[in-house]
Amino acid sequence: MFSERLRALRRGQHITLEQLATALNEQQSVGPDDHSKNTASQIGNWERGIRTPSFVEVRKLAEYFDVTMDYLTGKAERDEYDLGRLFLSGKQLSFNRELLSGRDRYEIYQLIDGYLHGRENRATPQDTNQQEELDLHLDDH
């Protein structure tokens, strides 16, 4: 699973093995094994499943591709994001290319939290006399 996901992430960003090796070597140090330089052939061996990277290398790859280590190793799907954790993380967040301030993040978090906790108290369309759905299907004439 790891080799397929690594290959898909790299190819999805249209970067060569050499470009990925260079980018990983330029990353900030993340552990005690940082002194070894990554090479294109090393990454190629990881993608073909010939070799297995160390924990430190998997962590560097996860940081580079902005995915979790669990995703890279096949333990979790990429589509799973916990918005609460994301809003409370130290990562910079933007919405429609506008950077969110700390205050924005907090207020959006509160809005989502309030919405989710209040939804069981909201009336369902069957409980009201309001129109249930707006039919946007236009008749072809």
Q: For position 85, what pLDDT does the model report?
A: 73
Strand partners, 98: 95
What is the C-alpha R_g of the chain? 22
Q: Look at residue 128 and tell me if it is in a domain.
A: no
CATH of the domain at 10: 1.10.260.40
Are 87 and 58 in a shared domain? no
Number of domains in the chain: 2
Q: Which residue, among 40, 62, 48, 39, has the nearest Cα to 7 in the 3D structure? A: 48
| pLDDT band, residue 91 (cuts 50/70/90) | confident
Domain extent, residue 98, equals 83-121
pLDDT digits 0-9 by tens, 121-133: 776 655 555 545 5
Structure-block tokens of residue 109: 């978090």
Between 102 and 34, where is the model more confident? 102
Q: For position 88, what pLDDT does the model report?
A: 73
CB atoms under 10 Å from CB of 66, counted, come to: 8
In this predicted structure, the answer to whether residue 109 has a pLDDT above a threshold of 90 is no
Q: Is the pTM of this model over 0.75?
A: no
In this predicted structure, the answer to whether residue 3 has a pLDDT above a threshold of 70 is yes
Q: What's the DSSP call for residue 74?
A: T
Q: Look at residue 139 and tell me if it is in a domain.
A: no
Between 105 and 20, where is the model more confident? 20
pLDDT digits 0-9 by tens, 24-82: 998 865 555 556 789 999 999 999 999 999 999 999 999 898 888 888 888 776 556 67
